[in-house]
Structure 1
Amino acid sequence: MRPPLWTDTHPDAERVLIAGYRRMSPADKLRRVVALTQGAQQMALARLREEYPDDTDRQRQLRLASLWLDDETMRRVFGWDPAVEGR
């Protein structure tokens, strides 16, 4: 028997969840990933709006991108240095 994947989930609940994922089509799995990613981005944007209320939309989008991209890519592609500007 393998160890549980999560420490905060009862093994019976984990088995039900994994069985559900196995029944999902690849398209359904992709839709789930997209929805979770969008949710994470919305939460990150909410934090950025609170932390940097005077940011322009562009600044906010750059800060959001800097949460997913490495600093070198941010500097090279966008001319934005998260170490200087903040995340």
Structure 2
Amino acid sequence: MFFRCIADPCDPDAVVIDRHAHDVAVGEIYGTRERGLGNARRYALLAHCYREAALRLGELPSTVQSVTWVVHTERIAGTGTRPPRR
């Protein structure tokens, strides 16, 4: 999906679900705990949630995911789950 987001930024289905996207979606920072993103059904469910949120906001799913990713990673910087930005 990452490639699809780069290859076609206007793709209405492409959304990247990584550890940060997962943690935003479930509302909890998992740190080093397993998220189950290797499970295709779990990944698809989380992607669907981002698509649904995007639809409600009138945005692309990749835009919703990328904005929440930036806010989330900045919020957790220096908390031990991510090194501080330089």
TM-score (norm 1): 0.28
Which structure's residues are more often helix, by fraction? 1
Instruction: Identify the structure with bigger relative contact order (alpha carbons < 8 Å, sequence gap 6+).
Output: 2
TM-score (norm 2): 0.29
Q: Please identify the structure whose Cα radius of gyration is greater.
A: 1
